[in-house]
Structure 1
Amino acid sequence: MIRYLLNLLGPTLLLSTMATTANAQDGIEEEARWSIAIHGGAGTIDRDKITPEKDAEIRAALNQALEAGSAVLEDGGSAIDAVTATIIILENNPNFNAGKGAVFTWDKTNELDSSIMDGSDLSAGAVAGINGTKNPILLARAVKDHSPHVMLSGEGANQFSREQGLEQVSPDYYATPYRLKQIDDLRAKKVSAADVDYKFGTVGAVAQDRDGNMAAGTSTGGMTGKRWGRIGDSPIIGAGTYADNRSCAISATGSGEYFIRLGVAHEICARIRTRWQMAIREAQLTVPKDKDDNYTYVIHASEFQLPDEEIQQIADDVIAELGALGGDGGIIYATPWSQAGYSFNTTGMYRGRATSEGEQSVAIYGDE
């Protein structure tokens, strides 16, 4: 059967399939793989705008978050737990716009958003416009696990957080001198709303665990100077976060209004799922038939994956459509085939990925 898939799936996958088959014949059971990708914002992130000290600080934070998620996955933990552990690290780091270090609204308050999704059963939880909870991702997780709802907002979500016993903080917990200067400059009209955020500090993680389950999560303080209870894409399932074992896991960062309009996270997953199903049908057509016109072999979906370049092209195509609408930003992805990567249309993106094959890398600038 392998030779019938060669032209469709490429030599890299063929060799992987042959190796798996050989190991099975030799009685060697391959250990299931895992993968994880993270982001800490995308935007105008240029080398001349970041000091060497800040560059090193951010890379250290990304590596710390990757290590937290990777440890969960390496120990056989779930993708949803890995995503949660990773985002907590990023929410606690003031270099990002989530949790500690979240941006301020026009009224100099904090309104935080977060969401999480489990690709194994499509369960999800989200919160919008909250404050008082130290780690918004834990509140989104509590909505998913301990309520009949998907999204809670404002004071109702704050009340639910307290009832769930989540760690509470005073309003000044989120503040940093950098964020206070941003909002003060904006209010004093020293800069425009478009210029105050040179980068989007939203954080997120996506993962596949050893059981093949997918998960995605996103957390943000939103947009500096936002008014009227503005909510972006981060807490919206299908726009800023989506996970489905049949396709992929996505977390987004950028100009949220455009991600909402395009439904970016779900759109990428839907295209991957559709393309995979098409590839299976195309492969089936290459199988010889017997004298009764029946296929001599029925191809099962578990026998092959979409190649890396197809996954990347799908992600790049959707981000290009986002750009055509006028939106800036990027996404991270993980797939059921242990691929992990990113796509963005900005000059930089805080990002990283790790796999069970030993890869661990972080990057900031577009040329990395």
Structure 2
Amino acid sequence: MKNAITLALVALALCPVPALAEEAEPKWSLAIHGGAGTLDRAEMTPEKRAAYEAALQAALDAGRAVLAAGGSAMDAVKAAIIPMEDSPLFNAGRGAVFTWEGENELDASIMDGRDRSAGAVAGVKTVKNPILLADTVRTASPHVFMMGKGAEAFAAEKGFAVTPPEWFATPARREALERMKAEKLSALDVDLKFGTVGAVALDQSGNLAAGTSTGGMTGKRWGRIGDAPVIGAGTYADNRACAVSATGWGEYFLRVGVAHEICAKLRMAPAAGAQKIADDVMAEVAALGGDGGVILVTPAGEALYSFNTNGMYRGRATSAGVNEVAIFGGEEKASTTPDH
């Protein structure tokens, strides 16, 4: 009997450890957007597509590098948004649309899912990368939201360089404003694409973050502010549920409280699934008359999109090997959930 027990113990020791006992590899996920809207396939020349895909991939690579190296979701979000703020292809930072008065007014917000700390700025004209100022509001002030000259004064106190208006202005955006005025068009007639940019991330520590940056709508007047800088409408992050960044017709996203609505529904009813919840909220926006889209990541590592337009400039990358950028609907090729 004793020998039988000894042989059994030896056999057990020689057996390989089951895969389930292995420690799971840390996972991370990232999704970005560069605007959603009515995109014309006929006008999407190979050269234009290549330019947008390259810009999206550069932003995706910047955020992915942070996450793959074990960096924070907050740092990844900033790293992904900055290249898009600096690109004239998007309506954020350089390349922002013009107000009715012919100025570029910038809005941005950012949120940390660990403690739901947040920072936001609206109507700033002299800050090269508004997403960095929004994060400084979050980390170096007692406030969440600053606007206009007050936000610029705060930026100067914190060492931000004053960026001249020439940096932000581009001929294409100026032409859109001039056409809008000359032909008495609405902002939607010249803004077929809402070029707001954003990023959402899950890092290897399981923390979530979201950020959004925009120039608003062409010809905006009276200090108009959309959803992008509003915590809960255009941006929201909560480790218990998800991180969301939105792009679209801001007035409707504000009325629905899109970003918070998605996170709250997912936190209260996770069994419904993140994709269905996001789709349902975007359907609510559509029912009111608005359009646009969202990107989101979940604690499980899902990196998802939902939009009710025919296209959204977007991309996603995960630790499972997903790496894609897309423009029109139905162009995704890869799985969205890391398999660890």
Q: 1:167, CA displacement in angstroms?
A: 3.2
Which of 279, 289, 309 pairs up with 1:346?
309
Question: In the aligned structure 1, how far is the partner of 2:221 from the partner of 2:158?
Answer: 29
Q: 1:219, CA displacement in angstroms?
A: 0.1
1:250 has 2:244 as partner: yes
Question: In the aligned structure 2, how far is the partner of 1:263 from the partner of 1:110?
Answer: 25
Counterpart contact for 1:23–1:30, Cα < 8 Å: no
Question: In the aligned structure 2, how far is the partner of 1:32 from the partner of 1:275?
Answer: 25
Question: In the aligned structure 2, how far is the partner of 1:200 from the partner of 1:323?
Answer: 15
Question: In the aligned structure 1, how far is the partner of 2:100 from the partner of 2:299?
Answer: 42
1:144 has 2:138 as partner: yes
Partner SS for 1:351: strand
1:228 has 2:191 as partner: no
TM-score using structure 2 length: 0.91
Q: How does 1:323-338 map to 2 (within 5 A)?
A: 323-338=286-301
Question: In the aligned structure 2, how far is the partner of 1:178 from the partner of 1:57?
Answer: 15
Counterpart contact for 1:46–1:365, Cα < 8 Å: no
Which of 63, 67, 77 pairs up with 1:69?
63
Question: In the aligned structure 2, how far is the partner of 1:200 from the partner of 1:235?
Answer: 15
Which of 36, 45, 52 pairs up with 1:42?
36
Aligned AA (1:84): K
Which residue is 2:94 aligned to? Answer: 100
Question: In the aligned structure 1, how far is the partner of 2:155 from the partner of 2:19?
Answer: 49
Per the alignment, do residues 247 and 22 of structure 1 end up closer, same or farther by CA in structure 2, a change over 3 Å counting?
farther
Which residue is 2:53 aligned to? Answer: 59
Which residue is 1:14 aligned to? Answer: none
What stretches of structure 1 move > 2 A for 4+ residues in a row? 21-25, 189-194
Which residue is 1:130 aligned to? Answer: 124
Q: How does 1:173-192 map to 2 (within 5 A)?
A: 173-189=167-183, 191-192=185-186
Q: Deviations over 1:162-198 (max 9, x none)?
A: 1111232101110111001001111212633320101
Question: In the aligned structure 2, how far is the partner of 1:209 from the partner of 1:89?
Answer: 20
TM-score using structure 1 length: 0.84
Question: In the aligned structure 2, how far is the partner of 1:22 from the partner of 1:48?
Answer: 54
Per the alignment, do residues 271 and 22 of structure 1 end up closer, same or farther by CA in structure 2, a change over 3 Å counting?
farther
Q: 1:83, CA displacement in angstroms?
A: 0.1
Which of 148, 153, 157 pairs up with 1:154?
148
Partner SS for 2:309: coil
1:267 has 2:230 as partner: no
1:316 has 2:279 as partner: yes
Aligned AA (1:221): G
Partner SS for 1:268: helix
Aligned AA (1:191): L
Which residue is 2:206 aligned to? Answer: 212
Counterpart contact for 1:116–1:215, Cα < 8 Å: yes
Q: 1:366, CA displacement in angstroms?
A: 1.3
Counterpart contact for 1:204–1:252, Cα < 8 Å: yes
Which of 311, 323, 326 pairs up with 1:363?
326
Q: 1:49, CA displacement in angstroms?
A: 1.9
Partner SS for 2:324: strand
Q: 1:92, CA displacement in angstroms?
A: 0.5
Question: Relative to structure 2, which stretch is displaced further, 314-323 or 191-200?
Answer: 191-200
Partner SS for 1:341: strand
Which residue is 2:187 aligned to? Answer: 193
Question: In the aligned structure 2, how far is the partner of 1:80 from the partner of 1:47?
Answer: 34
Partner SS for 1:125: strand
Q: 1:51, CA displacement in angstroms?
A: 1.6
Which residue is 2:111 aligned to? Answer: 117
Unaligned runs of 5+ in 1: 1-20, 280-305
Counterpart contact for 1:193–1:224, Cα < 8 Å: yes
Counterpart contact for 1:133–1:166, Cα < 8 Å: yes
Partner SS for 1:94: coil
Counterpart contact for 1:206–1:249, Cα < 8 Å: yes
Q: What is the Cα-based RMSD across aligned positions, in Å?
A: 1.2
